[in-house]
Amino acid sequence: ETGVTQSPTHLIKTRGQQVTLRCSSQSGHNTVSWYQQALGQGPQFIFQYYREEENGRGNFPPRFSGLQFPNYSSELNVNALELDDSALYLCASSPSAGFNYGYTFGSGTRLTVV
């Protein structure tokens, strides 16, 4: 059983640019969440997709957008990058949006905005 894989592992972008991060969920998982983890902080929830529909969103501006595909893989897009967007972006998948399930996390994409 493969876990959650994210790409790329590291990325450097310039302020104002756009970025797309990718995530392949664990086999059999239909729910994907994205988190932003600043250095020394806990993960902050960005949004969640369940069967290709967004079913929850955290306190992030609209320039953070996402997509989930029929195979349940997912993308996170960030437009008009700001310096404060520099963080580790984590993707997590779950067998369902049910609350008793733990999440399986990928190793993350380290985004640096300069």
Tokens 């993308």 locate to 75
Q: Which two tokens stand for residue 28?
A: 């059999």
Candidate segments 14-22, 60-68, 73-81, 102-110, binder of another protein by CB under 8 A? 102-110
Minimum gap (Å) between residue 100 Cβ and another protein: 5
Task: For the segment 5-64, give every residue that binds another protein (CB under 8 A).
Answer: 6, 33, 35, 40-45, 48, 56, 58
> Cα 54 to chain center, whole Å?
12
Minimum gap (Å) between residue 45 Cβ and another protein: 5
The secondary structure element, H or E, covering residue 54 is strand 53-57
